[in-house]
Amino acid sequence: SLQMGLLPSPCPVMLLGDSAVGKTCVLVRFKDGAFLGGNFIATVGIDFRNKVVDVDNLKVKLQIWDTAGQERFRSVTHAYYRDAQALLLLYDITNKPSFDNIRAWLTEIHEYAQRDVVIMLLGNKSDMAAERVVKMEDGEKLAKEYGVPFMETSAKTGGNVELAFLAIAKELKHRATQQPNEPKFKIHDYIESQKQKSGCCSLG
C-alpha cells in the first residue's frame, strides 16, 4: 500500500526494437549491473524481469518485458502492448536499418498500445564510436518529431541505462500519485538535466 511506501501495482514496461539492437543486454545491465557479451542469443517470444526502484521514498516495481525483435515473433508480442505503461524503443547506432525501422515501430505502437503510454527512444551501443552510422543529432531529431524523450545508452559501459529506467519509473510514479497542487513531473527536463553524453567519457 502507499502507507508502506510501495506503489500498489507493478508497472509493466516493454522493450521494443529490431533484433540485436541490445534489448536483452540493456535489461540485464539494469537488473544485474553486468554486460552480456559474447555470442548473441536472440530472445524467443517474450520474457520478463522485475526490478524495484526507489522514487522519492516510494518503491516502484517495474515489470520489464523483453520482447523478441525478430519479425516472426511479432504476433506474440503485440498481445502485450495493451498492458504496457511505458515502452523503451531501441535502435543500434551502428545499424542504420534498425534506426530507419523506428518509424514502423512507432506505427505499430500507435496501433496496439494505450494512447497515453510513455515512450522513450534509445540509441544503444554508444560505446561503439568507431562503428557509429547514426548521428546523435538524427536520433534527437526523430525523437523531437514524435515528441518523445531520447538518449543514447550503452549496455556495455552502462551509460544512461539506469537513467532511462529511472526516468520511466519517476514518470509512472507521478502519474499514479499526482496531487492536483503538486508540480507536474517533466520527463524531458529531468532527462536533459541528468543524461551523460555518449561515447568515451560516460561514467559507465
Name the 3-class secondary structure at 20.
coil
- Between the alpha carbon of residue 85 and those of residues 12, 96, 171, 203, the distances in Å are 6, 28, 10, 29
Nearer to ligand GTP, 52 or 129 (CB): 129
Q: How far is CA 95 from the centre of its chain?
A: 18
Binding segment for ligand GTP (CB under 6 A), chosen from 13-21, 99-107, 112-120, 196-204, is 13-21
Nearer to ligand GTP, 71 or 116 (CB): 71
Mention every residue, 6+ apart, whose C-beta is less than 8 A from residue 25: 35, 36, 124, 155, 156
Task: Check binding of 69 to ligand GTP (CB under 6 A).
Answer: yes
Task: Check binding of 22 to ligand GTP (CB under 6 A).
Answer: yes
CB of 95 to ligand GTP, least distance (A): 10
Give me Rg for the CA atoms of the chain: 16
- Beta-carbon neighbour count of residue 80 at 10 Å? 17
- CA dist 24 and 66 (Å) reads 6
Binding segment for ligand GTP (CB under 6 A), chosen from 16-24, 56-64, 115-123, 188-196, is 16-24
Task: Check binding of 42 to ligand GTP (CB under 6 A).
Answer: yes
CB of 120 to ligand GTP, least distance (A): 15
Write the interaction track for ligand GTP spanning residues 142-171; mark x where CB under 6 A is met and - where it is not: ------------xxx---------------
| Residue 53 DSSP label | E
Partners of 16 in the β-ladder: 89
Nearest Cα to 147, choosing from 114, 121, 183, 184? 121
Write the interaction track for ligand GTP spanning residues 96-135; mark x where CB under 6 A is met and - where it is not: ----------------------------xx-xx-------
Task: Check binding of 20 to ligand GTP (CB under 6 A).
Answer: yes
Total of residues contacting ligand GTP (CB under 6 A): 22
Residues that bind ligand GTP (CB under 6 A): 19-25, 36-37, 40, 42-43, 68-70, 124-125, 127-128, 154-156
